[in-house]
C-alpha cells in the first residue's frame, strides 16, 4: 500500500483526509519497498574519487554486479574447502579428500559437484584475522560486511542491536556510490536476515548512510510461492491511472511546503519517480518470477531455500541488480541438526546429510549457469562465512561447549571462494598450514576481501565517506588483493 500522509480534502480519485493518495501496494515509509527507493544524490565522493589511484590497474572495474553468498554460522573450512588428509584423525575428521577438475586442487568429499566447477573459481585458503576477545558470530559478521570492527558490546558479550550510527553494509555503500539508471532494485538481501540469538540485522543495514540505502529485503522462501505485492499494481489501478496520480502528486508537492518538508524528512524528495518506475516497469517484479525458469533449471540449483535463492540471484543480476546478498537461511548460532553451520554439538552428520549437499548443488549450478550465459565475466561471486571452525575436534576456543565430534569458532584461518570479474579460475590463493590452523602464506583479512569487492566495481576502497557526525572515514580499512588477477 502506497500512502502519502497528510490531512487533505478528497481529490478526484477519492482519498480521505487521512490518505490522499493510495496506489499499487508499495509502502515507501517502511511498509514494504524499503527506503532505498529514495536514493539521494551522491555526496560521499565524486566520480574522480571512485577511480583514484587504481585507474588502469588490472581487475579494477571488471565487475558490474556482485553476488555474495554469505554463509552465516561459520562453515568448517577443513570439511568443505581445505581438507587435510594427512593430518591426525582428530583434525582431518571423517571426510575424505577428493580430486577436482583441476590437478593439484582437492576438496572434501562433501562437494562432488563443485569439484567439477573448480576451474571457474579461486579458493582463498588463507582468510585470517585475530578477534581480539570477541569470538561471537555477530561481531565477525559486522566486520566482514562493513569493514570495521564493532565498537559497542553488551554486558552479555553480544553486540548491541542495529543502530543508525552503525557502519553501512557493503551493498548499501555500493547502492549509493553506483546508482542504477534502469528501474531495477540496486541491492537485494535474501532469504532471511543476519541473526545471532536475539540480535537481528546487525551489519546488514545502511547505518549512517540512512534508510534510503537499506537493501530490498526478501525474507521469504523462494522454494515456495513468493509474495511481491510491494512491487505490483493493484488490479483496480491501471498503469495510466498510476501515472495520472503521480502527476497529481507532483502538483500537490509543488503547492504544499508542509508536505514537501514531511517528504524531505523521509529522504524521499525528488526520488518518488523511482518508486513509480519500479512498479510500472515490472522489471524488478519479473526478476523474482521463478515460474519463468524451467523445471530442469530449478532442479539444477536444488529445490531448497538456498538453491532457489541462488537461482533468484542469477535472475536479479541478469535484470541489472548491482548487489545481491544471499544469506544462509538459518540463525547463525542455530541448531546444526536442522539448518545451521554452527556445529558445536555435531559436525559431520549435519554437513554430510543436510548442509553441504545444498551448498554444493547451488554453488556449482550458479557458477556453471553464469558462465554459460556470459555473465560470469561481469559478475563477482563470493562465498564466505564470518569465520571457519576449529581444526581440533571437541575443544573450546570461544567459551562454547563442544561435543567430541564438534568444531568451535575459528577466525584464525578459513577459506573464501571467489569467482568471475576476470579472476582466473582453477587456482588457489594462499594456503593454510598442515592442520588448517593458520595461513602458511598470503594471509587475507576480511577487510581485504571486502576491499576487493569494491575494487572490482570500480570503487577506490581507500576513498573517504562521511559518517552521521560528518566525520571522514575510510570506506574500508583494507587493500584489494590484486594478485588474484595475476
Summarised one tens digit per residue, pLDDT across range 104-132 is 999 999 999 999 999 999 999 999 999 87
Closest to 316 (Cα-Cα) out of 416, 192, 449, 222? 222
pLDDT of residue 314: 98
184-211 average pLDDT score: 93
* Burial (0-12, 13-18, 19+ Cβ within 10 Å), 273: middle
Q: pLDDT-derived band of residue 249, with 50, 70 and 90 as boundaries?
A: very low
Q: pLDDT-derived band of residue 39, with 50, 70 and 90 as boundaries?
A: very low
Fold of 42-226+302-485: Alkaline Phosphatase, subunit A (3.40.720)
The answer on pLDDT for 1 being more than 60 is no
pLDDT of residue 86: 96
315-342 average pLDDT score: 96
Q: What's the Cα-to-Cα distance from 221 to each of 218, 304, 307, 330, rounded to whole Å?
A: 9, 9, 10, 12
Q: How far apart are CA 444 and CA 153, in angstroms?
A: 25
C-alpha angle with apex 439: 433 to 444, nearest 5 degrees?
Answer: 160
3-state secondary structure of 125: strand
The answer on pLDDT for 263 being more than 90 is no
**Residue, of 230 and 445, whose pLDDT is higher:** 445
100-107 average pLDDT score: 98
Q: What percent of the chain has pLDDT over 90?
A: 68
C-beta of residue 343 within 8 angstroms of C-beta of residue 110: no
The answer on pLDDT for 307 being more than 90 is yes
Q: How far apart are CA 112 and CA 110, in angstroms?
A: 6
Sorted by sequence, the CB contacts under 8 Å of residue 362 that are 6+ apart come out as 69, 301, 302, 304, 306, 307, 309, 310
Q: How far apart are CA 423 and CA 455, in angstroms?
A: 12
pLDDT of residue 251: 43
Q: What percent of the chain has pLDDT over 70?
A: 78
pLDDT of residue 275: 54
Torsion angles phi and psi, residue 323, rounded to 5: -135, 120
C-beta of residue 273 within 8 angstroms of C-beta of residue 246: yes
**pTM of the entire predicted model:** 0.84
Q: How far apart are CA 25 and CA 18, in angstroms?
A: 17
Domain boundaries, the chain: 1-32+229-287, 42-226+302-485
Query: Of 109-123, 195-209, 233-247, which range is least confident?
Result: 233-247
The answer on pLDDT for 241 being more than 70 is no
Q: What is the DSSP letter of 355?
A: I
Which cell goes with 194?
543476519
C-beta of residue 285 within 8 angstroms of C-beta of residue 231: yes
C-beta of residue 165 within 8 angstroms of C-beta of residue 207: yes
CA quadruple 419, 424, 425, 430: dihedral sign = negative
3-state secondary structure of 395: coil
392-408 average pLDDT score: 93
Q: pLDDT-derived band of residue 340, with 50, 70 and 90 as boundaries?
A: very high
pLDDT of residue 172: 97
C-beta of residue 170 within 8 angstroms of C-beta of residue 453: yes
Strands 65-70 and 439-441: unpaired
Closest to 288 (Cα-Cα) out of 265, 304, 311, 259? 311
Q: What is the DSSP letter of 444?
A: B
Strand residue runs (E) in 109-182: 121-127
356-365 average pLDDT score: 98
C-alpha angle with apex 62: 362 to 282, nearest 5 degrees?
Answer: 60
pLDDT of residue 442: 98
C-beta of residue 239 within 8 angstroms of C-beta of residue 212: no
Q: Which residue has the cell 558479550?
A: 157
pLDDT of residue 278: 56
Query: Of 350-354, 383-387, 436-440, 469-473, which range is least confident?
Result: 469-473
Q: pLDDT-derived band of residue 404, with 50, 70 and 90 as boundaries?
A: very high
pLDDT of residue 17: 31
Q: How far apart are CA 358 and CA 344, in angstroms?
A: 20
Which cell goes with 435?
592442520
The answer on pLDDT for 382 being more than 50 is yes
The answer on pLDDT for 49 being more than 90 is no
pLDDT of residue 26: 37
* Burial (0-12, 13-18, 19+ Cβ within 10 Å), 291: exposed
Q: Across the chain, what does the average pLDDT equal?
A: 83
Q: How far apart are CA 44 and CA 178, in angstroms?
A: 11
Q: How far apart are the first and last CA of the chain?
A: 51
Angle between helices 170-177 and 446-456 (to 10 degrees): 20
pLDDT of residue 230: 64
C-beta of residue 177 within 8 angstroms of C-beta of residue 459: yes
C-beta of residue 440 within 8 angstroms of C-beta of residue 433: yes
Q: pLDDT-derived band of residue 242, with 50, 70 and 90 as boundaries?
A: very low
pLDDT of residue 157: 64
Q: pLDDT-derived band of residue 348, with 50, 70 and 90 as boundaries?
A: very high
Query: Of 4-8, 96-100, 256-260, 338-342, which range is least confident?
Result: 4-8
**Residue, of 429 and 156, whose pLDDT is higher:** 429
Distance of CA 36 to the CA centre of its chain: 16
CA quadruple 45, 51, 52, 54: dihedral sign = positive
The answer on pLDDT for 156 being more than 70 is no
Sheet containing 187-190: order of strands: 216-218, 187-190, 323-327, 65-70, 379-384, 414-419, 121-127, 427-429
Which cell goes with 317?
543480476
Query: Could you please report the per-residue DSSP string of 129-144?
Result: ---TT--SHHHHHHHH
CA quadruple 132, 455, 420, 70: dihedral sign = positive
- E strand or H helix at 106: strand 106-108
Q: How far apart are CA 327 and CA 342, in angstroms?
A: 14
Query: Of 80-89, 369-378, 394-403, 440-449, which range is least confident?
Result: 394-403
Amino acid at each position: 500500500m502506497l500512502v502519502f500522509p497528510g490531512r487533505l480534502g478528497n481529490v478526484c480519485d477519492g482519498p480521505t483526509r487521512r490518505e490522499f493518495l493510495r496506489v499499487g501496494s508499495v509502502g515507501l515509509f517502511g511498509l514494504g519497498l524499503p527506503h532505498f527507493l529514495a536514493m539521494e544524490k551522491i555526496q560521499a565522493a565524486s566520480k574522480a574519487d571512485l577511480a583514484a589511484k587504481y585507474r588502469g590497474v588490472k581487475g579494477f572495474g571488471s565487475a558490474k554486479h556482485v553476488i555474495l553468498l554469505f554463509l552465516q554460522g561459520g562453515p568448517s573450512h577443513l570439511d568443505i574447502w581445505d581438507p587435510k588428509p594427512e593430518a591426525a584423525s582428530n583434525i582431518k575428521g571423517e571426510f575424505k579428500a577428493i580430486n577436482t577438475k583441476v590437478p593439484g586442487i582437492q576438496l572434501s568429499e562433501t562437494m562432488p559437484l563443485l569439484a567439477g566447477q573448480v576451474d571457474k573459481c579461486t579458493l582463498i585458503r588463507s582468510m585470517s584475522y585475530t578477534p581480539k576477545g570477541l569470538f561471537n558470530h555477530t561481531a565477525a559478521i559486522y566486520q566482514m560486511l562493513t569493514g570495521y570492527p564493532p565498537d559497542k558490546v553488551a554486558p552479555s558479550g553480544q553486540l548491541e542491536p542495529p543502530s543508525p550510527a552503525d557502519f553501512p553494509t557493503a551493498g548499501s555503500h555500493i547502492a549509493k556510490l553506483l546508482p542504477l539508471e534502469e528501474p531495477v532494485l540496486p541491492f537485494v538481501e535474501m532469504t532471511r536476515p543476519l541473526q545471532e540469538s536475539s540480535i537481528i540485522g546487525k551489519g546488514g543495514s545502511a547505518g549512517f548512510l540512512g534508510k534510503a540505502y537499506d537493501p530490498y529485503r526478501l525474507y521469504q522462501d523462494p522454494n515456495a510461492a513468493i509474495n511481491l505485492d510491494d512491487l505490483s499494481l493493484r488490479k483496480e489501478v491501471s498503469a495510466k491511472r498510476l501515472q495520472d496520480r503521480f502527476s497529481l502528486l507532483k502538483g500537490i508537492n509543488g503547492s504544499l511546503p508542509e508536505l514537501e518538508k514531511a517528504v524531505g524528512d523521509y529522504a524521499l524528495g525528488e526520488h518518488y519517480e523511482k518508486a513509480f518506475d519500479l512498479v510500472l516497469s515490472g522489471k524488478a517484479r519479473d526478476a523474482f518470477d521463478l515460474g519463468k525458469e524451467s523445471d530442469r533449471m530449478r532442479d539444477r540449483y536444488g529445490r531448497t531455500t538456498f538453491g532457489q535463492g541462488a537461482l533468484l540471484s542469477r535472475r536479479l543480476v541478469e535484470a541489472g541488480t548491482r548487489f545481491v546478498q544471499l544469506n544462509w537461511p538459518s540463525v547463525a548460532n542455530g541448531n546444526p541438526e536442522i539448518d545451521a553451520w554452527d556445529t558445536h554439538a555435531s559436525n559431520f552428520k549435519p554437513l554430510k546429510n543436510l548442509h553441504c549437499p545444498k551448498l554444493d548443488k547451488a554453488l556449482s549450478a550458479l557458477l556453471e549457469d553464469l558462465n554459460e550465459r556470459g555473465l560470469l565475466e561481469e559478475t563477482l561471486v563470493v562465498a564466505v562465512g564470518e569465520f571457519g571452525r576449529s581444526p581440533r575436534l571437541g575443544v573450546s576456543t570461544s567459551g562454547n561447549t563442544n561435543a567430541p565430534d564438534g568444531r568451535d569458532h575459528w577466525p584464525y584461518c578459513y577459506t573464501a571462494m571467489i569467482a568471475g570479474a576476470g579472476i582466473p579460475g582453477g587456482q588457489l590463493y594462499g594456503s593454510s598450514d598442515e592442520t588448517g590452523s593458520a595461513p602458511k602464506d598470503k594471509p587475507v583479512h576480511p577487510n581485504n576481501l571486502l576491499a576487493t569487492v569494491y575494487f572490482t566495481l570500480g570503487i577506490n576502497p581507500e576513498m573517504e565517506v562521511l559518517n552521521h557526525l560528518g566525520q571522514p572515514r575510510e570506506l574500508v580499512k583494507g587493500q584489494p588483493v590484486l594478485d588474484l588477477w595475476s
